[in-house]
């Protein structure tokens, strides 16, 4: 579905796929991950302005996806060994950029991709062109959602007493931006503040980049998604409520 940022009637872009779990929007197409059969998720794509949906043939077990409109990058946390993959927009050979125990969430800036591995407790960085993996953080409990603003990398370490974390691109000091969070599930940034959603009655919160006072934007909801633009914060409320809301000003 899509809807104007100021509200209105939602538009159905596509329907009929089972359990969609991840979405990315390129300059010319939409990409999403949904179940093809059982637990085997694959990536689907639909050029904007059309109704022609195709699947990427080498995207089995996909979980999270991001695109820069040149390439598509995704994680595939398979049962025994997981993968970080890429493929050119418009088709081409799929490349295995990295392997891991369970690569989970993924983000990108102009030159790098970043991902969390929930099984080995790491946060990782690599050039979009491939090459060596830089481990930005290790010994995390269960790092999940990840975001970047081109200067720093942010992630949530998910637990009953979860944390929101930050480290510079390329590696360096690791900063705890917020602690004692109730299962943080999603994170994003606008370069000035970091925003996150707490899945178990923790609401939607923000904190300045680099640390400071945590501000509760939406209290006492089960929030599972968060996004931000120049003026507002948008959130997805879980627990079968089906609510997509926003806070203005942010």
Question: What pLDDT, on a 0 to 100 scale, did the predictor assign at position 46?
Answer: 84
Predicted pLDDT at 76: 93
Rg of the chain (C-alpha set): 17
- Between β-strands 134-137 and 112-117, what pairing exists: parallel, antiparallel or unpaired? unpaired
Token couple for 81: 């060994």
- Would you put residue 43 in left (φ > 0), alpha (ψ -120 to 50) or beta? beta
In order along its 250 residues, the chain shows pLDDT tens digits of 555 666 666 677 777 777 788 889 899 988 899 887 655 688 888 888 888 989 888 888 899 999 999 999 999 987 678 999 999 998 889 999 999 999 999 999 999 999 999 999 999 999 999 999 999 999 999 999 999 999 999 999 987 789 999 999 999 999 999 999 999 999 999 999 999 999 988 899 999 999 999 999 999 989 889 999 999 999 888 766 667 888 999 9
pTM of the shown model: 0.92
How far apart, in whole angstroms, are the C-alpha atoms of residue 136 and residue 86?
21
pLDDT at 187: 98
Q: Looking at residue 9, what is its pLDDT?
A: 67
């Amino acid at each position: 579905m899509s809807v104007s940022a100021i509200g209105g009637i939602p538009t159905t872009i596509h329907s009929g796929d089972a359990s969609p779990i991840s979405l990315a929007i390129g300059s010319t197409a939409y990409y999403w991950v949904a179940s093809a059969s059982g637990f085997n998720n694959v990536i689907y794509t639909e050029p904007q302005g059309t109704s022609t949906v195709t699947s990427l043939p080498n995207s089995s077990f996909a979980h999270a996806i991001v695109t820069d409109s040149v390439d598509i990058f995704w994680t595939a946390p398979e049962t025994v060994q997981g993968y970080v993959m890429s493929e050119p927009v418009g088709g081409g050979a799929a490349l295995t950029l990295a392997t891991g125990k369970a690569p989970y969430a993924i983000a990108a800036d102009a030159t790098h991709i970043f991902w969390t591995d929930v099984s080995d407790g790491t946060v990782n960085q690599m050039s979009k062109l491939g090459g060596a993996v830089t481990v930005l953080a290790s010994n995390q409990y269960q790092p999940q959602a990840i975001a970047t603003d081109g200067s720093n990398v942010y992630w949530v370490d998910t637990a009953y007493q979860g944390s929101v974390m930050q480290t510079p691109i390329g590696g360096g000091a690791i900063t705890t931006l917020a602690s004692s969070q109730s299962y943080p599930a999603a994170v994003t940034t606008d370069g000035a503040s970091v925003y996150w959603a707490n899945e178990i009655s923790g609401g939607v919160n923000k904190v300045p980049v680099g640390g400071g006072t945590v501000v509760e934007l939406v209290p006492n909801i089960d929030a599972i998604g968060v996004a931000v633009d120049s003026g507002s914060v948008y959130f997805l409320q879980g627990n079968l409520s089906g609510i997509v809301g926003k806070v203005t000003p942010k």
